[in-house]
Chains A and B, each alone.
Chain A
């Protein structure tokens, strides 16, 4: 099963390699990983999409928590959340196909962020399903290049990722 996990980590050098090393060393999958500084410059937020059964996910969460630089871990499987990803697509744009591309970009509320004589570079944001739909529709027109960010995620409503709750997760969760 697929899971989206969010982490708060110390914004220090080497933290990313600790996390990626944990996944590779223990044979866990990473489908995507997004990381950047949070509102607090000493903290980075990471969003990881991973796959595995319940036992593997439990280990992933516990092992992440065990890393000294990890402040908080949240698994979105049990939380209502929004998740968004961005994709940049460079497509063939010939005279014939340009109106079709523009229509499609409009329908998907995307943007054309770069134009050349033979190509458009399109930016689309959305959830996975939307990006997938857009990509499959634009594919026949000739995709030259495609780059995705991987999703970032946030809980809906008043729930927030806050610091200092790591012990709660550690003790509470594992104590059932």
Chain B
């Protein structure tokens, strides 16, 4: 029996085990939209803006480890996804975006709602397809999911013209995607691993510098075991938070521009950096010439292009972080006696680090104003670190990274690479769809939240009890901070007028709460976390608070401005 392209699409998603899509309809989606009528196996969440569909799919993927799916219409529907796709691409998040397209015959004719979305997104997707024949549809969908989830994950776009979704073909979903030109390397080269282990054994001041790759490959357990087995302190990138419990004694906190004193000093004085699933981003390394000046570098990454791109490394290991850690742990296990002495070798180093941690902890000046850092500390305490946290971008993001101790992987969802304001709220919606019973909190700013505030309607419509803590300081805080420090306090463009967020929430049918001083924090947060409805908490914090420590742009990691 022949089926339409739209039916093939639906059957392919089912065969792929996809149970959720984030979507927005339009003329070009109609065949597919119609084919999804009464398909109860697939939860269909209709957002209010296509950018949010992609962020929601992204948040769903980050929280659950499954591939996120977004479906949008042609032209503006497709172009609205670009920021979401670029966000996922920079952070290696597995999502598949289905954009619908005008009829094949019309492509290239500047037809109504036509956009060359494959062309537009080419530099910010892992791969993309334009389906030109309905006979290829199932195979392309199979390949798209395979490419998105395997190797270094990333977004894949599939553009489906309207006549393809109505055309007829036989349906058979391929069991495997066979792509001769795509075979990622998963297992680390044993020779390289041996070399790396020898270096580790001879190091006296080693540091594990780990990133999103640890989260993506589900390697946090192995990472923690490895760090413990050899007493190696661990620092995370923003993307790597949760890779080791935030309250672990070997954890140094985040490194980089707003990293902790101990993490940045440990990198600077280290004699061996073991980078895992991290890509030496400029926000993490500071001035590259002075990054880890005394250290040899081992770099484990599944993507060869990440290796020796920004910093020349001594021992590259291409492979899946988890596999490589397991291979390394096996060596430690087999040569227990040899590796046991490593604890003694690094004792002095651990002592030094403990001192740094004690003398220069993350801190802020308490005074009569309500401090945003305090609010985040309370969110952490009241949720016992068990919530899924998303952030927007800017000060709210950095304070969250500093003051919320992420205890588990996949609980810190944040736009690390692209730095997308407006990411956190739709991502929280996506995470809440994946985990309806979990507490999902978006730590936002008054600037960022207004970039996708329309998604309140989505949260209310689907009864997704997402909590949004708006650190409202009346400024675009991070830009203001740079103006304060480097532009003589000329606050051009950064003072922000915002609506009454409590009333906005209520107008949408959500709950709006307000906090104006420290005394109200616990009471209101508890109330918010207890109710089962989407909730905005408008927190009026100190307007001119800065994020510290701070490494000025272009400076080396040891040149930190402290509180």
Contact = CB atoms under 8 A, between A and B. Distances in A.
Report whether chain A binds chain B.
yes
B341 interface: no
A2 B334 CA distance: 48
Chain B residues touching A, range: 20 to 34
Interface string A88-105: 000000000000000000
Contact of A68 (B127, B191, B315, B316): B127
Interface stretch (A29-37, A56-64, A119-127, A135-143): A56-64
B183 interface: yes
B126 interface: yes
B198 interface: no
A163 B123 contact: no
B189 interface: yes
Interface string A43-74: 00000000000010011001101101111100
A10 B309 CA distance: 27
A14 B131 CA distance: 12
B317 A68 contact: no
Given A18-B122, A175-B317, A163 B304 contact: no
Contact of B181 (A55, A71, A173): A71
B181 A68 contact: yes
Contacts of A166: 180-183
B443 interface: no
Contacts of B308: 55, 58
Contacts of B181: 9-10, 68-72, 166
A21 B305 CA distance: 16
Contacts, number: 67
Contacts of B180: 71, 163-164, 166
B539 interface: no
A17 B305 contact: no
Given A14-B118, A69-B181, A25 B123 contact: yes
Nearest to B124: A25
Nearest to B119: A17
A58 B316 CA distance: 13
B105 interface: no
Nearest to B147: A68
A175 B318 contact: yes
Nearest to B307: A174
Interface string B407-433: 000000000000000000000000000
Given A21-B123, A166-B181, A167-B183, A175 B305 contact: no
Contacts of B304: 62, 65-66, 170, 173-174
Contacts of B303: 66
B106 to A, nearest CB: 17
A152 to B, nearest CB: 21
A10 B303 CA distance: 21
B305 A63 contact: yes
Nearest to B303: A66
A28 to B, nearest CB: 12
A123 B305 CA distance: 41
A66 B305 contact: yes
A69 B125 CA distance: 13
- Most A CB within 10 A of own CB, among B147, B181, B188, B312: B181
A176 interface: yes
A27 interface: no
Contact of B318 (A55, A70, A163, A174): A174
A157 interface: no
Contacts of B312: 55
B1 interface: no
Interface in A146-175: 163-164, 166-167, 170-171, 173-175
25 contacts: A10-B181, A14-B118, A25-B123, A55-B308, A58-B308, A59-B305, A62-B304, A62-B305, A63-B305, A65-B304, A66-B305, A68-B179, A68-B181, A69-B181, A71-B181, A166-B180, A166-B182, A170-B304, A170-B318, A171-B189, A171-B318, A174-B304, A174-B316, A175-B192, A176-B192
Given A10-B181, A17-B122, A175-B188, 18 more contacts: A14-B118, A14-B122, A62-B305, A65-B304, A66-B305, A68-B181, A166-B183, A167-B183, A170-B304, A171-B189, A171-B318, A174-B185, A174-B304, A174-B318, A175-B189, A175-B317, A176-B192, A176-B316
